[in-house]
Amino acid sequence: MAEQLLYLTELLGLKVYGLKGRVLGRVSDAALVPVVHPVRIDRLFIGGAFTWLTVRQEQVRRISLDGIYLSEENLTPYYPDESTLRLAQDLLDQQIIDAQGRKVVRVNDVTFEVTSEAGHDVLMIREVDIGLRSVFRRLAQGVLPRRMIRRLQSRIAPNSIGWEYCSIIERDPQRRLRLDISTSLLERMRPADLADIVEELSPEDREALIVAMEPETAAEALSEVEPDIQARIIEALEAERAADILEEMDPDEAADVLGDLEETTSEEILEEMEGAPKADVEELLEYDEDTAGGLMNTEFIAVHDSACAADAIEAVRSQPDLADGVTTLFLIDIDGRLCGFMPVTRALLARPETPLSELSPEEPVTAHVGEKAAKVAELFDKYNLLALPVVDDEGRIAGAVTADDIITLLRRK
């Protein structure tokens, strides 16, 4: 058979036959050594409750539902090895992340493909099984004959996740390395989906996952997590790590997180932060969360009112972090006071040398830093804004509130 399947529940308890047809024991567990091969079962463990023997994959001749036949009998005793992923112990019944379905699932069973490699049978992990069919298979195993279970289960719809989409949750960072668990699957997910997964995990798993990811990805995901969980995660991390992540977040969000922490913790983290993000966050922390100052971001694009369209585009270009989401240009006078604003597209469509003042900038709608958040939301609704400049007592622009901040604000209510 070109493609033959075997399930982990079937494998466990399967008899292992030696060269002379003698039964050496039953399979107790199977292990993957990810650094050697990402999907091939590297060893099987056989034996009873106290002593186990290790069967290496190259010692196996044939694998079938009737048993495992060895080609060599020289077995070594089992020893615990940090770089092996033991399927029955480490995977079965545990939670993993399904990166394709974007959810946390519990492993009911594992499907192998039996293939031939260099003249002997090997097991390749193909899928992780979840859902009713695998529950039935597990419950019936040992009660009904294996072949009968296979016939009966075919009536139930299968529910499996390709192994390539499975991300194992491992708390110990060193073991993560030894097991070669990469976070690239997770990093390819949308931050909001990743955030849902983070919320579903237990606190320790959350922290482990956040630490394992690049600070930038972690920051993106964390921005989308519920505020109270955000605070818990950041609180549990080491100050230095927390600072790295907060530096990557939008300053207004970072300030919100820090504002939810206890004073000593947030000061410790602020201490570890560096550069521009630190200054921005510190400034924002001065404002109450329910005011325009608390909502705003300190990053925005402001150009002098005498500038031309080309200058404006250059200003956008000079702030690549902001370029993705920027909708509005703010015009300021020589004292930094706001004197107008316009959609950024207007500058893009105009001839480069056109002065911005000729593009009919609108009289700015502004909010004072101390303005109530609800009032700010009202302004967005009334004037159909995408961005609203926030000004300080002197009328200088301090930051900008954007429409997504308002959506978050309204959703929280």
Partner 1 sequence: MFRRTRYHLALFFAVIGPGFITAMVDNDAGGIFTYSQAGARYGYLPLWTLLPITVLLIVTQEMCSRMGAVTGKGLSDLIREEFGLRTTFFMMAALVAANLTNVMANFAGVASSLELFGVSRYITVPFASVAVWLLIVKGTYGRVEKIFLFATVLYVCYIVSGVLVKPDWKEAAIYSVRPVVMLDPGYITMLIGMAGTSVAPWMQFYLQAAVVEKGVSAKEYAGSRVEVIVGCITMSVIAFFIIVACAGAIHSVRPRDIKDATDAALGLKPFGDAAYLLFSAGLFNASLFAACILPLSTSYTVCEGLGFESGVNKRFREAPIFYWLFTGLIVIGAGVVLVPGFPLVRMILASQVINGILLPFVLVFMIILVNKPRLMKKWVNSQFYNAVAWTSVVVLIGLTLALIAITIRGMIG
H or E element at residue 308: none
Alpha helices in 124-274 (DSSP H): 132-140, 146-153, 173-178, 184-187, 191-200, 203-212, 215-223, 227-236, 239-248, 251-260, 263-272
Q: How far is residue 258's CA from residue 278's CA, in Å, rounded to a whole number?
A: 12
If the CB atoms of residues 357 and 408 are measured against partner 1, the closer one turns out to be 408
If the CB atoms of residues 263 and 324 are measured against partner 1, the closer one turns out to be 263
Contact set for partner 1, span 9-48 (CB under 8 A): none
Q: Tell the smallest beta-carbon distance from residue 232 to partner 1 (Å).
A: 6
107 binds partner 1 (CB under 8 A): yes
If the CB atoms of residues 158 and 259 are measured against partner 1, the closer one turns out to be 259
Q: How far is residue 222's CA from residue 210's CA, in Å, rounded to a whole number?
A: 8
287 binds partner 1 (CB under 8 A): yes
Tell me which stretch binds partner 1 (CB under 8 A): 33-41, 128-136, 355-363, 379-387.
128-136
Tell me which stretch binds partner 1 (CB under 8 A): 49-57, 103-111, 237-245, 355-363.
103-111
Burial class (CB in 10 A: 0-12, 13-18, 19+), 48: exposed
Contact set for partner 1, span 384-403 (CB under 8 A): none
Q: Tell the smallest beta-carbon distance from residue 294 to partner 1 (Å).
A: 7
Contact set for partner 1, span 188-247 (CB under 8 A): 201-205, 228-229, 232
* Of 83, 89, 57, residue with least CA distance to 72: 57
If the CB atoms of residues 9 and 402 are measured against partner 1, the closer one turns out to be 9
If the CB atoms of residues 82 and 204 are measured against partner 1, the closer one turns out to be 204
If the CB atoms of residues 180 and 289 are measured against partner 1, the closer one turns out to be 289
Q: Tell the smallest beta-carbon distance from residue 227 to partner 1 (Å).
A: 11
Q: Tell the smallest beta-carbon distance from residue 160 to partner 1 (Å).
A: 13
Tell me which stretch binds partner 1 (CB under 8 A): 286-294, 300-308, 350-358, 380-388.
286-294
Residue type, 251: P
If the CB atoms of residues 54 and 266 are measured against partner 1, the closer one turns out to be 266
Question: Residue 322's Cα: distance from chain center in Å?
Answer: 23
Tell me which stretch binds partner 1 (CB under 8 A): 65-73, 270-278, 287-295, 317-325.
287-295
If the CB atoms of residues 47 and 294 are measured against partner 1, the closer one turns out to be 294
Paired with 409 in beta bridges are none
Buried-exposed string 168-197: b where 16+ CB fall within 10 A, e elsewhere:
bbbeeeeebebbebebebbbebebebbbbb
* Contact residue for partner 1 among 23, 139, 192, 410 (CB under 8 A): 139
* Contact residue for partner 1 among 131, 325, 336, 395 (CB under 8 A): 131
Place of tokens 């090997």: 122
Q: Tell the smallest beta-carbon distance from residue 34 to partner 1 (Å).
A: 21
* Of 172, 194, 193, residue with least CA distance to 181: 172
Binding mask 293-332 for partner 1 (x = CB under 8 A): -x--------------------------------------
* Contact residue for partner 1 among 66, 82, 172, 288 (CB under 8 A): 288
CB neighbours of 407 closer than 8 A, spacing ≥ 6?
none
Q: How far is residue 257's CA from residue 241's CA, in Å, rounded to a whole number?
A: 14
Strands 367-368 and 387-391: parallel
* Contact residue for partner 1 among 82, 262, 271, 362 (CB under 8 A): 262
Q: How far is residue 16's CA from residue 212's CA, in Å, rounded to a whole number?
A: 39
Tell me which stretch binds partner 1 (CB under 8 A): 69-77, 280-288, 319-327, 360-368.
280-288
Q: How far is residue 87's CA from residue 150's CA, in Å, rounded to a whole number?
A: 21
Burial class (CB in 10 A: 0-12, 13-18, 19+), 246: buried
175 binds partner 1 (CB under 8 A): no
Task: List, as one string, the DSSP characters of 47-79.
Answer: E-SS-EEEEEGGGEEEEETTEEEES---PEEP-
**Chain residues in the site for partner 1 (CB under 8 A):** 92-94, 103, 105-108, 130-132, 135, 138-139, 201-205, 228-229, 232, 256, 258-260, 262-263, 285-289, 294
